Amino acid sequence: MSVEFLAVTLVVVATPGTGVIFTLAAGLSRGARASLVAAFGCTLGIVPHMVAAMTGVTAILHASALAFEVVKYLGVAYIFYLAWTMWRDDHALELGGPGEARSATSVIRAGILVNLLNPKLTLFFVAFLPQFVQPNRPDTLLQMATLSGVFMLVTLVVFAIYGVLAATVRRRILERPRVLTGLRRSFAALLILLGLRLAVAER
């Protein structure tokens, strides 16, 4: 495994996106345990992209403009939904539907959707990861699975760090309603910007 792969993976994972915002919100609203659950959910959301890359489905999405656009706009719609629910919630930094049970299952499910509907991950697995696979070897699938596993591990660790750090300042923020409202709306605005950026993204 090359240093270049690890370096780019770290940059891709650590760059703030919907998964990072989701995990930060979980840490701020419900503490360290919830942030770890959110990080785990986001990591599970990578699995379908990995399977798609290994079975060739990703190549179809890359080749078909229509398939790519469908996935992209589903992701955009979900990001806008998250922004809307966060903006209108006056009580907490939550990334879930109004009145949704705050169980670990619901957090994991939402985390999976965050990354499942992220076409940037699809592009990562079809355009970047294969560059580090040696096609002349018989264990091509094993190589892809190993690299994907490393990507998932880095995602879990980095997101967990983000979430735990957010949880450490949770009490101070919750004691300041104006700060909480400002953070909630800032996160919602960031999600909208990410959605708009994703909407104009090309394959």
The pTM score is 0.70
In angstroms, the CA 8 to CA 74 distance is 26
Q: How does pLDDT run across 162-173, given as a tens digit for each residue?
A: 999 988 888 777
Angle CA(35)–CA(15)–CA(203) in degrees, nearest 5? Answer: 115
Which of residues 25 and 187 earns the better pLDDT score?
Answer: 25
The rounded percent of the chain whose pLDDT value lies above 90 is: 17
Q: How does pLDDT run across 30-53, given as a tens digit for each residue?
A: 888 989 999 999 999 999 888 887
The pLDDT assigned to 203 comes to 52
DSSP state of 139: T
pLDDT exceeds 70 at position 197: yes
For helices 104-116 and 18-30, the axis angle rounded to 10 degrees is 160
Which of residues 46 and 124 earns the better pLDDT score?
Answer: 46
The pLDDT assigned to 49 comes to 86
